Structure 1
């Protein structure tokens, strides 16, 4: 009798937790709202956000906007911590990235320079020169020893972070959209005119197509585009015009891991633990004042390919990034406002 009583109690507890998780998933999938709103101090309300970077400890954030200087804010209060004094303020977007230890903030400039800054005191560490046109993407290697930058001049430069010396210059002859460090520090590249993942490493003579291992070929009607790389360089989100979907591809095996329907044309970002993908696409709803379309945020479970949650479709979202622990997503759009989304509530495991 005692054994049966304990067994019945255990079944009741397990059923409660299972039912609770199912109810939470269903509720969040139907509608997902931000858990926090933060208005940044001393930023123009008319500035559209162009890029975003969150420090590894999630205590500091930098958001660049068109015509705005590079600045750093406190995540808890929204107070401005530093304004980094650039030579000239550009009307173009400024890609930004924190080093893995959070001790360096890198910024790409419209004049082709890459700035390295101390986020603690706001001082310039060094300015890297070499690109002849605006820098479009920057990323640190996993150990922080290397920094890769891509530009609209069609070149990718690999720098030694400590010394600022150029280790390698790779020419693509097409505007670089994004660079990332893949497995074994291979350099992953996406560009405007090539729809597949491109890569370079020391064992390859030049840039090659990841899937065919041959020289990339431009197509007049390119059926794919690269949306984003995972932080560890293992996965890529690739939009398929033919299917109207987004494919999640494992670059180690070249196998399609998941297919997210109806997400062609969406921008995206992977969570650091590769458990989630956040996508942003244009909503059917329009703002009464601006007349422009709102955006819809969707959160996908990459283990199952299931849509976990979607927003109301009445947000302006032009930039997005995950926290280092993958539990929070931060988005920004306009009017100096950031939205924080609690991802941990979407999973029973809290991954």
Structure 2
């Protein structure tokens, strides 16, 4: 959410006031020939990113088109097409867009490049490319879904968490600038993963019908919320260790983790 009192949604892309339920703004006119699948907003409320799945007419392959909107200017300012299915998006504190796809994590500094092309998607060699993908050699298969990142800890510490199809969430951790990805286990595909404000706890949502909370330092599970069916999203309440989880059993649960 760009603000604590607003929600960003797709179909069409718009911003709604939480208190009144009324639409504040809508971007009805932009070139989007795909199915909106993911959305992210910068914390200062200036930028919104929209990801759409697009089927290429020539090859039949599914790609993703990423649109960047400047809410202050009231228009779309950037776009890029990736030859991957993008499912998760996050705009970090330095206004870089993180994207998750099939076995890959992408990072686009959209303030540097007006319109990067697929040819500008490089293997992760430095932090200078307009779009780069971070190699994940130990991830054997599957899609990466939700994510959360702390860009200020990229060189040292726990800088992120990623929800993965292969029944784990993976922490993004660095030691001397070298990243590694310890696993947080589930019994089914993991659809969402977030860190709390301090980055000390990670919460995950899974097809196995549970939302789980892990201590990042020890990687031990310290809490579990049981739904009657798959859990698709989870969030920490700001400033607390309490979690909100959403399941396809038509329930929203608020749970305390001590």
| 1:284-340 deviation line (CA, Å, top 9, x unaligned) | xxxxxxxxxxx122111123xxxxxxxxxxxxxxxxxxxxxxxxxxxxxxxxxxxxx
| 1:140-167 deviation line (CA, Å, top 9, x unaligned) | 22x233221112x432111224214535
C-alpha distance in 2 between matches for 1:161 and 1:231: 26
Answer 1 or 2: higher relative contact order, Cα 8 Å, separation at least 6: 1
1:204 equivalenced with 2:178 (yes/no)? yes
Whose helix proportion is higher, 1 or 2? 1
Query: 1:139–1:147: 8 Å Cα contact kept in structure 2?
Result: yes
- Deviation, 1:132, is 0.7
* Matching residue of 1:175: 143
1:125 equivalenced with 2:68 (yes/no)? no
* Matching residue of 2:121: none
Q: How does 1:102-251 map to 2 (within 5 A)?
A: 102-111=45-54, 112-129=64-81, 131-141=82-92, 143-151=93-101, 153-164=102-113, 166=130, 168-172=132-136, 174-182=142-150, 184-185=153-154, 186-199=159-172, 201=174, 203-204=177-178, 208-210=181-183, 223-226=187-190, 227-230=192-195, 232=197, 233-238=199-204, 245-251=210-216
* Matching residue of 1:86: 30
* Matching residue of 2:59: none
- Deviation, 1:263, is 6.4
TM-score (norm 1): 0.53
- Deviation, 1:239, is 6.0
C-alpha distance in 2 between matches for 1:77 and 1:251: 36
* Matching residue of 1:98: 41
Q: Give the 3 Å change call, closer, same or farther, for CA 72–195 of structure 1 in structure 2.
A: same
Aligned-pair RMSD on alpha carbons? 3.2
Q: Name which one, 1 or 2, has greater alpha-carbon Rg.
A: 1
Question: 1:138 is paired with a residue of what secondary structure?
Answer: strand
Greater displacement, 268-277 / 192-201:
192-201
Query: 2:88–2:146: 8 Å Cα contact kept in structure 1?
Result: yes
Q: How does 1:37-48 map to 2 (within 5 A)?
A: none
TM-score (norm 2): 0.70
State the number of aligned residues: 220
C-alpha distance in 1 between matches for 2:164 and 2:207: 16
1:55 equivalenced with 2:2 (yes/no)? yes
Q: Give the 3 Å change call, closer, same or farther, for CA 168–278 of structure 1 in structure 2.
A: same
Query: 1:94–1:110: 8 Å Cα contact kept in structure 2?
Result: yes
Q: Give the 3 Å change call, closer, same or farther, for CA 298–74 of structure 1 in structure 2.
A: closer
* Matching residue of 1:7: none
Q: Give the 3 Å change call, closer, same or farther, for CA 167–197 of structure 1 in structure 2.
A: same
| 1:238-275 deviation line (CA, Å, top 9, x unaligned) | 46899x75431011232322233456732322223233
* Matching residue of 1:216: none
Q: Could you list the runs of 5+ residues in structure 2 that have no partner in the other structure?
A: 55-63, 114-128
Query: 1:113–1:127: 8 Å Cα contact kept in structure 2?
Result: yes
Whose strand proportion is higher, 1 or 2? 2
Query: 1:105–1:116: 8 Å Cα contact kept in structure 2?
Result: yes
- Deviation, 1:192, is 1.1
Query: 2:168–2:183: 8 Å Cα contact kept in structure 1?
Result: no
